[in-house]
Amino acid sequence: MIRKLVILALLSAACFISGGMLLSQHQDETLYPTPSLTKRMMLSDYFSVLRGGDGDTEVFEYCGDEGGGTVLILGGTHCDEPASYLAAYLLIETLDVQRGRVLIVPRANRSALTHNLQGEGHPQTFEVETLHGKRSFRMGSRYTNPLNQWPDPEVYLHSPSKQELSGSDSRNLNRCYPGRADGTYTERVAHALAELIKQEKVDLVIDLHEASPEYPVINAIVAHERAMDCAAFAVMELQGQGLEYSLEPSPQNYHGLSHRELGDHTNALATLMESANASQGRLRGRTDAQLVVTGRDKMYTRAAEIEMTRVPFGLEGIPLDIRVARHIEGTRQLVLAFNGLNAGKEVEFGGAPTYAEIVERGFGKFMHEEN
Amino acid sequence: MSEGLILAAMVAALSISVFFVKLPTGIALLVSAMIGAFVAGEGIPLRHLAEGSMMYLDPMLIVLTSLFFMAVFERSGALSSLNVWMLRKFSSRPFILVSLLTLFVMLPGMFTGLTAPCVLTTGAIAAPVLLAAGTPRAVAGAFIASGAFWGMAAPPVNICAMLIGAGVDMPYIGFDLPLLATTVPLALLSGHLLVGKYFRGLKTENVCELIESKESGGALLYLPFLVVMSLMLGERFLPQYVPHLGIPLIFVIAAVLSLFTGARVKIKEAADWSVKSAMPILALLAGIGMFIQILTLTGARGFIVIELLELSEWQRYVGIAILVQLFGGVSAYGSSVVLGVPILLSMLGQNNVIVASALSIIASLGDFMPPTRLAVVLAGPVVGEESSAAILRKSLWPIVLGLACGIGMLIYANEIGKLFGLN
């Protein structure tokens, strides 16, 4: 009897401690927008069903003095792809819009930042050096937290295409577009984002992502056919700067992705960017906060030697600074290309550091905690 | 410490715990995970262990609820009644009876991509027929596990193939025909090789006497089973009318229904039996989740994958045959994602659909493999065989056929792809 009680007490203590650790991930990081911020909204402003839930997320609006087009930047669609939301955070804390309008949703699937994917061994947080010391950020999951949407069906039937995907993809925001007002939790978030695009008459969507270094679509801009010209000019400009980028057309028979569905179901030009993130790859070695930040991994270096990676992967790895810098520069070039093709709808902004500046100093040095 | 040594420490800890200390496998996996984390300098990573233990929450609930359903359904008299009907109808045609039993066992797996519902529903229904025909318990268990494995790999729902495809953004299109043409004939062949000889010369009346029939409930007896199948299939084919309840809730609904459709069931006794039968499996699944979490955390998982990819071409086929199914023994889905996707990427010159189909079949074989041996372990209580090792030994045919089929498809992927019009 005493032995059972001791075991029960030990188990209860383990549950209590680990439960506390898991709960700690529900706390959003504080962001410090620039004075250029004109409005701080919530996604539920566009679809009230989300109000107050984990799916409700902040929308930052930056308006220039002059009228122009509207660009929407999505970070944190997949929250195990940290460069996606850190690039969005960096823009929020540095942006100065002169013309047109920039909308930023840094945590598109906010629920996915509140947990880690079981079996992946990811750290809960990682730290980045800033001018004010170390700043901590959460590492999340590719999927919506099961606390918000559970159980998964065995097969996820995408709406409206009826395409079949594995059940876990029912919690993958980038397989749920254009979403459904009466659908699952994740489909409602996708629907709300599509509503935001329609109601705000967004012209250009830039969905920021990362992928494992062995993934075929990497260091790339993926574009809906209507956004192809814009993406092509941006890729040429990025290549001209010496950055490796490829241009990938959005597959017409693979549904649920932002570049396919937002392009088909809204008037926006839909694009998506990918950088190479070793911490989400299947070939990676030890999984810790160091891997997330430094991007160094000896297993991927071995994989590159047998040509199993789609990007060069040396001992120096692919650090978070470079991945964030690519997203910032890619965003800048997509907007410039959009401006060149859409006279009268230009969007002009400054403040954001250049690729070279971020690589030299680290993106953390440009974040503004004192605002 | 290097990843290879961490892996060696984990395997050694697991082996010592199971074979020398004689700990239950679930507990041994926890010990192995803790040793792995400790030697990797992670201390006792409580959060990772808790996270890993929840990795298989859904399969755990399926196992528990389906065993409860099976207990109540069996005690209501439905199984014996259905079996008597089946034997009266088909025992004079043993070839058709064995073929139908095979397809019947496969059915839930074809629509769920899981082995557990096959073993615990249609497998449980088929079990008394197999035993009454004189099939040894271990062979009957192997027959059910075999049907469940082929059902898991068969179309229209092969979750392993979906997961491998999703890893490279390949839609689940074009898989039905190749998977159907390979899994169904091989499932039938496996079934006949396993139990065909026991069904030849079957005397209907003699066999029916062996099954204690309680036909008082008539057609109503089968209602719970029809409800299970209707809700599972309806959710998939008529999603606008049938809500998504999840398999565990479907089994609970059917179990409650069984209380009113046949003989009186002592619910506490049925619940006790199902919890007692499920407990070792639940512990095993929790242990495996923790083991995988620590494998990934320490880099041992990546070490296994990269070692496989560094093999030469022919060595790689041998490596796939061994590692993909062995990792499938930890988790068939995990094996598909962790090993299946990189292997597919390393074979991009071959037909993607056929390669992914082949890998999905080999990964599904993991349900025969230790440490989980899920299909085999679940088949034990269904046929009344205590030794899952005995069932595994009798499962050689489906394992050999599945492996030969998978490796053959990998080697001749382009040629097979052309046969099915896939370019």
On the 0-12 / 13-18 / 19+ scale of CB atoms within 10 A, B77 is: buried
Cis bond before residue B224 (omega within 30° of 0): no
Query: Which residue of A lies nearest to B50 if distances are taken between CA atoms?
Result: A18
Q: Kindly state whether B316 is in contact with chain A, defined as any CB-CB distance less than 8 angstroms.
A: no
Nearest to A18 among B50, B169, B289 (CB): B50
Interchain pair A118, B236: CB under 8 A: no
Mean pLDDT (chain B, rounded):
88
Interchain pair B55, A119: CB under 8 A: yes
Please report, as a single letter, which amino acid is at residue A94. Answer: T
Nearest to A165 among B54, B172, B297 (CB): B172
Residue B14 lies in a domain: no
Query: Which residue of A lies nearest to B6 if distances are taken between CA atoms?
Result: A286
* Smallest Cα distance from B299 to chain A, Å: 4
Interchain pair B303, A308: CB under 8 A: no
Residue B68 lies in a domain: yes
Q: Which of A286, A290, A302, A306 to mutate to test the interface with B (most CBs of B within 10 A)?
A: A286
Helix, strand, or coil here: B44? coil
pLDDT at B205: 66
Q: Is the ipTM value over 0.85, yes or no? A: yes
pLDDT at B211: 63
Decide the pairing of beta strands A133-138 and A96-105. Answer: unpaired
* Smallest Cα distance from B144 to chain A, Å: 21
Residue B290 lies in a domain: no
- Residue B258 CA to residue A301 CA, distance in Å, equals 58
Q: Which of A12, A118, A176, A261 to mutate to test the interface with B (most CBs of B within 10 A)?
A: A118
- Residue A178 CA to residue B398 CA, distance in Å, equals 43
* Smallest Cα distance from A154 to chain B, Å: 6
Interchain pair A118, B51: CB under 8 A: yes
* Smallest Cα distance from B309 to chain A, Å: 8
Q: Kindly state whether B98 is in contact with chain A, defined as any CB-CB distance less than 8 angstroms.
A: no
Domain extent for B270:
56-281+302-419
* Smallest Cα distance from B50 to chain A, Å: 7
- Residue A112 CA to residue A119 CA, distance in Å, equals 15
* Smallest Cα distance from B306 to chain A, Å: 6
Chain A residues in contact with B113 (beta carbon < 8 A): 154-155
Contacts of B47 (CB under 8 A, 6+ apart): A18, A21, A22, A124
Interchain pair A166, B302: CB under 8 A: no
- Furthest C-alpha separation in chain A: 80
- Residue B228 CA to residue B251 CA, distance in Å, equals 7
Q: Kindly state whether B5 is in contact with chain A, defined as any CB-CB distance less than 8 angstroms.
A: no
pLDDT at B293: 92
Residues of chain B with pLDDT under 70: 203-217, 423
Chain B residues in contact with A308 (beta carbon < 8 A): 309, 342, 345-346
pLDDT at B87: 78
The string of pLDDT tens digits covering residues B323-371 is 998 888 877 888 888 889 889 988 877 899 999 999 999 999 999 998 8
Chain B residues in contact with A251 (beta carbon < 8 A): 169, 171
Residue B386 lies in a domain: yes
- Residue B358 CA to residue B413 CA, distance in Å, equals 9
Chain B residues in contact with A158 (beta carbon < 8 A): none
- Residue B273 CA to residue B277 CA, distance in Å, equals 6
Q: Which of B157, B305, B348 to mutate to test the interface with A (most CBs of A within 10 A)?
A: B305
Strand partners, A133: A130
Nearest to B171 among A254, A288, A308 (CB): A254
Residue B121 lies in a domain: yes
Strand partners, A59: A41
Q: Kindly state whether B47 is in contact with chain A, defined as any CB-CB distance less than 8 angstroms.
A: yes
Residue B15 lies in a domain: no
Q: Yes or no: say if A324 and A365 are a contact pair by the CB < 8 Å rule.
A: no
pLDDT at B173: 81
- Residue B59 CA to residue B115 CA, distance in Å, equals 10
- Residue B110 CA to residue B156 CA, distance in Å, equals 6
The string of pLDDT tens digits covering residues B29-60 is 899 999 999 999 999 999 999 999 998 888 78
Strand partners, A101: A63, A70
Nearest to B236 among A22, A155, A306 (CB): A155
C-alpha A343 chain-centroid distance: 29
Question: What are the tokens at A275?
Answer: 């950088």
Query: Which residue of B lies nearest to A157 if distances are taken between CA atoms?
Result: B236
Interchain pair A124, B40: CB under 8 A: no
Chain A residues in contact with B54 (beta carbon < 8 A): 118
Place of tokens 């730290």: A127
Strand partners, A348: A99
Q: Kindly state whether B111 is in contact with chain A, defined as any CB-CB distance less than 8 angstroms.
A: yes
Domains, chain A, ordered by start: 31-284+322-366 (3.40.630)
Place of tokens 């075991």: A7
Residues 144-163 of B with CB under 8 A from A: 156-157, 159, 162-163
- Residue B107 CA to residue B112 CA, distance in Å, equals 9
Q: How many independent structural domains does chain B possess? A: 1
Q: Kindly state whether B293 is in contact with chain A, defined as any CB-CB distance less than 8 angstroms.
A: yes
Burial call B34-55: b when 16+ CB within 10 Å, e when fewer: bbbbbbbebeebbbbbbbbbbb
* Smallest Cα distance from B291 to chain A, Å: 9
Query: Which residue of A lies nearest to B306 if distances are taken between CA atoms?
Result: A283
Chain A residues in contact with B166 (beta carbon < 8 A): 165-166, 169
Interchain pair B162, A153: CB under 8 A: no
Query: Which residue of B lies nearest to A122 if distances are taken between CA atoms?
Result: B297
Please provide the DSSP assignment of B203-269 as one string: -HHHHHHHS---GGGGGGGGHHHHHHHHHHHHHHH-TTTS----HHHHHHHHHHHHTTTSS---HHH
pLDDT at A73: 98
Q: Yes or no: say if B413 and B351 are a contact pair by the CB < 8 Å rule.
A: yes
Residue B128 lies in a domain: yes
Chain B residues in contact with A18 (beta carbon < 8 A): 46-47, 49-51
Query: Which residue of B lies nearest to A121 if distances are taken between CA atoms?
Result: B297
H/E element, A40: strand A37-42
Residues 356-395 of B with CB under 8 A from A: none
* Smallest Cα distance from B349 to chain A, Å: 13
pLDDT at B209: 66
Interchain pair B173, A22: CB under 8 A: no
* Smallest Cα distance from A86 to chain B, Å: 23
Query: Which residue of A lies nearest to B289 if distances are taken between CA atoms?
Result: A119
* Smallest Cα distance from B5 to chain A, Å: 13
Residue B47 lies in a domain: no
Please report, as a single letter, which amino acid is at residue B415. Answer: E
Interchain pair A121, B297: CB under 8 A: yes
Chain A residues in contact with B163 (beta carbon < 8 A): 166
User: Per residue of chain A (371 residues), what is the pLDDT tens digit?
Assistant: 899 999 999 999 999 999 999 999 999 999 999 999 999 999 999 999 999 999 999 999 999 999 999 999 999 999 999 999 999 999 999 999 999 999 999 999 999 999 999 989 999 999 999 999 999 999 999 999 999 999 988 789 999 998 888 888 999 999 999 999 999 999 999 999 999 999 999 999 999 999 999 998 999 999 999 999 999 999 999 999 999 999 999 999 899 999 999 999 999 999 999 999 999 998 999 999 999 999 999 999 999 999 999 999 999 999 999 999 999 999 999 999 999 999 999 999 999 999 999 999 999 999 987 65
Strand partners, A105: A74
Question: Rounded to whole angstroms, what are the CA distances from A47 to A158, A176, A193?
Answer: 20, 16, 9
- Residue B394 CA to residue B385 CA, distance in Å, equals 12
| Residue B311 CB neighbour total at 10 angstroms | 15
- Residue B245 CA to residue B264 CA, distance in Å, equals 27
Q: Kindly state whether B74 is in contact with chain A, defined as any CB-CB distance less than 8 angstroms.
A: no
Strand partners, A128: A135
- Closest to B305 (Cα-Cα) out of B291, B324, B277: B324
